[in-house]
């Protein structure tokens, strides 16, 4: 059986599945249930500075978008950091860590952007014997209006400054949690590294309004007829998160900086994809909030099963394996020519491939052949775009097949070449550097 024990910036856990800082990790009761279910670690819900706790709204905190059959695809929240007393949280963190020493216990922190505030809280957290801290520079709602959360995360200089303070005032590993609500994720990641961060985690939630009530014209979730932007998460944000993880993993300036991947991870596959793109482990929230803690068992079994089938002995064998395959568009091989192929036995004749291609793309799929309903690719028109694959309801029914070298692409009339050729060398590129 493959070894899925995880060591992330020195912090050990029996598997790479942590619960992200969020409602599921707000108190001992939930965290103990999570550990009983098998989670490898938790990031305790964000602690604020000592004193009267923040208050949450007393109306709806969440909004959602759905796919077919009311599958939850995305969740939005306007909940703030923990609204429980700091010392109660610290006491429970200590108890849980004592009772579950093999699990990773990370404490998320968000206090005002002043060194004294960080200097005050860090020893209190250290005293719990937690394994590390995560700096919440990501929360996009509520706290950001008070100069915390993403208000810090959107300014690389602040990230570097606060990270430096934390490294100066604690021996614990420091993970900097990044907001996706910026233009280029590499800048905050570089700032964290320069500030001495042991790792980054991303993404935090995306600023969002999930829907509008068309009777009251209030955004959702609606609090007495008004709404405020919240943080969006769940399966819908996974592609955004994957790209940001990859951007950091392949950036020369942050190379080697451990990444804890977050964003819509729902199954073992999602987790494996994040890790392949460079995440050393993953954090999960929405999937647990949708289905409960038991999903981790599917994740563990699925990851182990896939690793065993592929001969991967440990997580080191998979982390970052896809990173070198992420490149810039200009380096993609323009001599790689594909055509869609429809498996007529699998085809259920819904016609979606046809209408998608006909109305919105390249008129490359028939709908009628010899008076019969029949969907077939017209190679002379097919650009290999993959839209038909994406809209087909039957998995595996349509595949993109590579034309072997020597074949003629009926669309272009050109013979497919064996060699690699990209845009930088293409004659249509005005910036092309002519071969000497």
Partner 1 sequence: MGAAPDIRYSDGIASGRLSAEEVAENFGDIHPPLDQHEALVAADRCYFCYDAPCVTACPTEIDIPMFIRQIATGNTLGAAQTIFDQNILGGMCARVCPTETLCEQACVREEAEGKPVLIGQLQRFATDQAMREERQFYSRAEASGKSVGIIGAGPAGLACAHRLAMHGHDVVIYEAKPKPGGLNEYGIAAYKTIDDFAQHEVDYVTAIGGIDIRYDTALGKDVSLDDLRAKHDAVFIGIGLGGVNALSVEGNDLDGVEDAVDFIARLRQADNKSDIAVGRDIVVIGGGMTAVDCAVQAKLLGAENVTIAYRRGQEHMNASQYEQELAATTGVRVRHNLQPKALLGQNDAVTAIELEYTQVADGKLSGTGQTITLEADQVFRAIGQSFEADLSDAGIDMTAGRIATIGAHGQTSAEGIWAGGDCVAGGDDLTVTAVAQGRDAAENIHAALSGVEV
Residues classed as catalytic: 139
d(CA 299, CA 143): 33
Q: Return the residue of 55, 68, 309, 433 that touches partner 1, per CB under 8 A.
A: 68
Q: Return the residue of 70, 217, 395, 396 that touches partner 1, per CB under 8 A.
A: 70
Residue closer to partner 1, measured from CB, 358 or 425: 358
Give the shortest CB-76-to-partner 1 separation in angstroms: 20
Residue closer to partner 1, measured from CB, 394 or 421: 394
Cβ-contact 108, 153 below 8 angstroms: no
The phi and psi torsions of 132 (rounded to 5 degrees) equal -175, 175
Give the shortest CB-373-to-partner 1 separation in angstroms: 7
Identify the residue whose tokens are 């020195």: 10
* Count of other CB atoms within 10 angstroms of residue 29: 10
d(CA 46, CA 108): 4
Structure-token pair, residue 120: 């005050």
Q: Return the residue of 58, 69, 345, 406 that touches partner 1, per CB under 8 A.
A: 69
Choices 62-70, 244-252, 269-277, 332-340; region in contact with partner 1 by CB under 8 A: 62-70
d(CA 172, CA 263): 25
The residues in 106-145 that bind partner 1, with binding defined as CB under 8 A, are none
Cβ-contact 233, 74 below 8 angstroms: yes
Binding mask 367-406 for partner 1 (x = CB under 8 A): x-----x-------------------xx------------
Give the shortest CB-203-to-partner 1 separation in angstroms: 29
Which element (helix H / strand E) includes 328?
none
Residue 400 class from Cβ within 10 Å (0-12 exposed, 13-18 middle, 19+ buried)?
middle
Residue closer to partner 1, measured from CB, 88 or 348: 348
Choices 68-76, 87-95, 295-303, 400-408; region in contact with partner 1 by CB under 8 A: 68-76
Residue 404 DSSP symbol? P
225 φψ region: left (φ > 0), alpha (ψ -120 to 50), beta (else): left
Binding mask 9-48 for partner 1 (x = CB under 8 A): ----------------------------------------
Give the shortest CB-354-to-partner 1 separation in angstroms: 5
- Sign of the four-CA dihedral 417, 423, 425, 428: positive
The residues in 315-374 that bind partner 1, with binding defined as CB under 8 A, are 348-352, 354-355, 367, 373
User: Which residues are paired to 3 by β-bridges?
Assistant: 314
User: Which residues are paired to 218 by β-bridges?
Assistant: 213
Residue closer to partner 1, measured from CB, 155 or 350: 350
Give the shortest CB-353-to-partner 1 separation in angstroms: 9
d(CA 106, CA 117): 19
Give the shortest CB-70-to-partner 1 separation in angstroms: 7
Choices 64-72, 95-103, 141-149, 417-425; region in contact with partner 1 by CB under 8 A: 64-72
Give the shortest CB-367-to-partner 1 separation in angstroms: 6
- Sign of the four-CA dihedral 62, 68, 69, 71: negative
Residue closer to partner 1, measured from CB, 30 or 218: 218
d(CA 197, CA 202): 14
Give the shortest CB-400-to-partner 1 separation in angstroms: 21
Choices 33-41, 66-74, 173-181, 286-294; region in contact with partner 1 by CB under 8 A: 66-74
Cβ-contact 58, 321 below 8 angstroms: no
Total number of residues binding partner 1 (CB under 8 A)? 14
Residue closer to partner 1, measured from CB, 66 or 331: 66
The residues in 174-233 that bind partner 1, with binding defined as CB under 8 A, are none
Residue closer to partner 1, measured from CB, 124 or 387: 387
Residue 150 class from Cβ within 10 Å (0-12 exposed, 13-18 middle, 19+ buried)?
buried
- CA distances (Å), origin 250, targets 243, 321, 331: 11, 11, 15
d(CA 376, CA 398): 10
Residue closer to partner 1, measured from CB, 269 or 349: 349
Strand, coil or helix: 337: coil
Binding site for partner 1 (CB under 8 A): 68-70, 348-352, 354-355, 367, 373, 393-394
């Amino acid at each position: 059986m493959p070894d899925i024990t995880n060591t992330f910036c020195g912090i050990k856990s029996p598997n790479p599945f942590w619960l992200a800082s969020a409602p599921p990790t707000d108190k001992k009761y939930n965290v103990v249930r999570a550990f009983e279910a098998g989670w490898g670690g938790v990031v305790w819900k964000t602690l604020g500075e000592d004193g009267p706790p923040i208050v949450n709204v007393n109306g709806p905190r969440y909004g959602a978008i759905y796919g077919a059959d009311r599958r939850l695809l995305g969740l939005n929240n306007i909940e703030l950091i923990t609204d429980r007393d700091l010392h109660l949280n610290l006491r429970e963190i200590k108890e849980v860590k004592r009772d579950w020493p093999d699990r990773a216990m990370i404490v998320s922190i968000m206090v005002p952007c002043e060194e004294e505030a960080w200097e005050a809280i860090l020893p209190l957290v250290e005293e719990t014997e937690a394994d590390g801290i995560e700096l919440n520079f990501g929360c996009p709602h509520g706290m950001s209006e008070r100069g915390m959360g993403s208000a810090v995360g959107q300014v690389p200089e602040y990230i570097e400054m606060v990270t430096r303070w934390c490294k100066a005032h604690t021996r614990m590993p420091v993970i900097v949690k990044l907001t996706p609500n910026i233009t280029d994720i590499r800048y905050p990641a570089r700032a964290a590294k320069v500030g001495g961060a042991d790792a980054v985690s991303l993404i935090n939630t995306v600023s969002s309004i999930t829907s509008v009530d068309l009777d009251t014209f209030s955004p959702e979730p609606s609090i007495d007829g008004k709404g405020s932007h919240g943080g969006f998460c769940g399966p819908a944000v996974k592609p955004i998160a994957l790209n940001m993880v990859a951007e950091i993993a392949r950036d020369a300036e942050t190379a080697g900086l451990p990444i804890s991947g977050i964003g819509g991870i729902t199954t073992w596959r999602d987790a494996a994809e994040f890790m392949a793109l460079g995440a050393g482990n993953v954090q999960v929230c929405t999937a647990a909030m949708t289905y409960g803690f038991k999903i981790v068992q599917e994740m563990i079994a699925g990851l182990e099963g896939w690793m065993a089938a592929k001969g991967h002995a440990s997580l080191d064998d998979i982390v970052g394996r896809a990173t070198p395959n992420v490149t810039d568009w200009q380096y993609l091989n323009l001599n790689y020519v594909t055509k869609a192929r429809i498996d007529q036995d699998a085809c259920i004749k819904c016609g979606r491939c046809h209408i998608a291609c006909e109305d919105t793309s390249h008129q490359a799929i028939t709908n009628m052949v010899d008076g019969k309903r029949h969907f077939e690719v017209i190679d002379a028109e097919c650009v290999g775009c993959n839209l038909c694959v994406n809209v087909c309801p039957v998995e595996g029914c349509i595949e993109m097949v590579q034309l072997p070298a020597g074949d003629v692409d009926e669309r272009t009339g050109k013979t497919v070449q064996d060699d690699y050729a990209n845009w930088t060398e293409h004659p249509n590129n005005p910036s092309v550097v002519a071969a000497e």
